[in-house]
């Protein structure tokens, strides 16, 4: 197994305190200045994050896209996404961190998080800009979550899950993706479920048929759905996730290309190089060298 130099943090690696199991709410000033890990350099988490930003400015780079940070912004990060912060003016607000297990405890539908349009977005920015009225609603809600978190009331974890679900539903109502996709159609939900499964199995499961079996649909139905919702074949989506991981490791680590190839389960480095060049028109080495010589290059 590869010893990854791109940090992957658990909630207990980063959280200053977790009186609620696998959940934390903390002020962003504390998170940025007192955190146990360097959150400014590129890293990723195995849990979910929601940022409620009330003051400050800067950018958050998520994988290979930079997003502007402004006041009254909600930002959502999914497990596995590589991100780094650049702060122009001190950021004020709150950070909510939680694991999928925490959110889904006692929930009948295990796909509830995957079906949220806010995580693993279908090519859209994982941010929402709020107006004054919306901002007041969210600020009051986050404040209630903070009060509950810091108290020792009966069934605190259950109450935190309820508040968190309300927050995500409120955000879901505001979310307006740039695509014309009807968010709540069955096709959208199936697409989100596929993306969530790929995130878990992309190193070991590569065929459309295998994912179709996991989703209890036919391969033809899965392909037709993905073509309609993402304008790609299911196979292209599966390959894109593997390619994204290759790009992440080439950009954010100095791991040898041969080691990356074996980590991604390619039979040999030459096969990996052919795969990478087929879809990027660059060899892995050229891709890495170009990033080093041209930091503004967007792969």
pLDDT in tens, 222-279: 999 999 988 999 999 999 999 999 999 998 888 899 999 999 999 999 999 999 999 9
Closest to 47 (Cα-Cα) out of 16, 9, 21 = 9
Tens of pLDDT along the chain (299 residues) come to 444 567 888 888 887 776 567 999 999 998 888 876 777 888 889 999 999 999 999 999 998 889 999 999 999 999 988 899 999 999 999 999 999 999 999 877 777 887 787 888 766 789 999 999 999 999 999 999 999 999 888 999 999 999 999 999 999 888 865 444 454 477 888 998 898 889 889 999 889 999 999 999 999 999 999 999 889 999 999 999 999 999 999 988 888 999 999 999 999 999 999 999 999 999 999 999 987 776 555 55
Q: How many CB atoms lie within 10 A of CB 261?
A: 21
pLDDT of 146: 95
Tell me phi and psi for residue 87, to 5 degrees.
-100, 125
Locate 207 and state its tokens: 């065929």
**In a 10 Å sphere around its CB, with 0-12 CB exposed, 13-18 middle and 19+ buried, how is residue 32 labelled?**
middle
pLDDT of 181: 46
Separation between Cα atoms, residue 134 and residue 73, nearest integer Å: 10
pLDDT of 179: 46
* Cβ(161)–Cβ(105) below 8 Å: yes
Separation between Cα atoms, residue 153 and residue 157, nearest integer Å: 9
pLDDT tens-place string over residues 11-35: 888 877 765 679 999 999 988 888 7
Helix, strand, coil in percent for the chain, rounding step 5: 45, 20, 35
Question: What separation, in Å, do the N-terminal and C-terminal C-alpha atoms of the chain show?
Answer: 26
* Cβ(103)–Cβ(164) below 8 Å: yes
* Cβ(266)–Cβ(206) below 8 Å: no
């Amino acid at each position: 197994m590869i010893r990854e130099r791109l940090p992957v943090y658990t909630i207990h690696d980063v959280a200053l305190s977790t009186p609620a199991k696998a959940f934390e709410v903390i002020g962003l000033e504390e998170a940025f200045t007192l955190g146990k890990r360097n959150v400014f350099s590129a890293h990723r988490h195995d849990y979910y994050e929601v940022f409620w930003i009330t003051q400050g400015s800067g950018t958050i780079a998520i994988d290979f896209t930079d997003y502007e940070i402004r006041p009254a912004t909600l930002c959502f990060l999914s497990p596995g996404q590589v991100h780094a912060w650049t702060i122009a003016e001190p950021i004020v607000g709150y950070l909510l961190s939680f694991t999928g297990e925490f959110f889904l405890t006692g929930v009948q539908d295990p796909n509830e998080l995957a079906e949220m349009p806010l995580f693993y977005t279908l090519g859209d920015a994982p941010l929402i800009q709020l107006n004054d009225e919306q901002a007041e609603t969210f600020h009051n809600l986050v404040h209630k979550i903070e009060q509950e978190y810091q108290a020792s009331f009966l069934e605190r974890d259950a109450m935190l899950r309820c508040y968190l679900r309300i927050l995500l539903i409120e955000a879901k109502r505001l979310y307006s993706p740039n695509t014309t996709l009807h968010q709540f159609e069955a096709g959208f939900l199936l697409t989100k479920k596929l993306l969530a499964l790929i995130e878990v199995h992309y190193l070991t499961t590569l065929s459309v048929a295998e994912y179709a079996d996991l989703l209890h649909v036919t391969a033809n139905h899965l392909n037709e759905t993905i073509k309609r919702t993402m304008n790609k074949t299911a196979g292209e989506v599966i390959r894109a996730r593997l390619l994204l991981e290759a790009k992440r490791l080439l950009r954010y680590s100095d791991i040898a290309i041969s080691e990356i190839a074996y980590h991604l389960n390619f039979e040999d480095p030459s096969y990996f190089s052919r795969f990478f060049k087929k879809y990027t028109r660059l060899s892995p080495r050229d891709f890495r060298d170009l990033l080093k010589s041209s930091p503004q290059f967007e792969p």
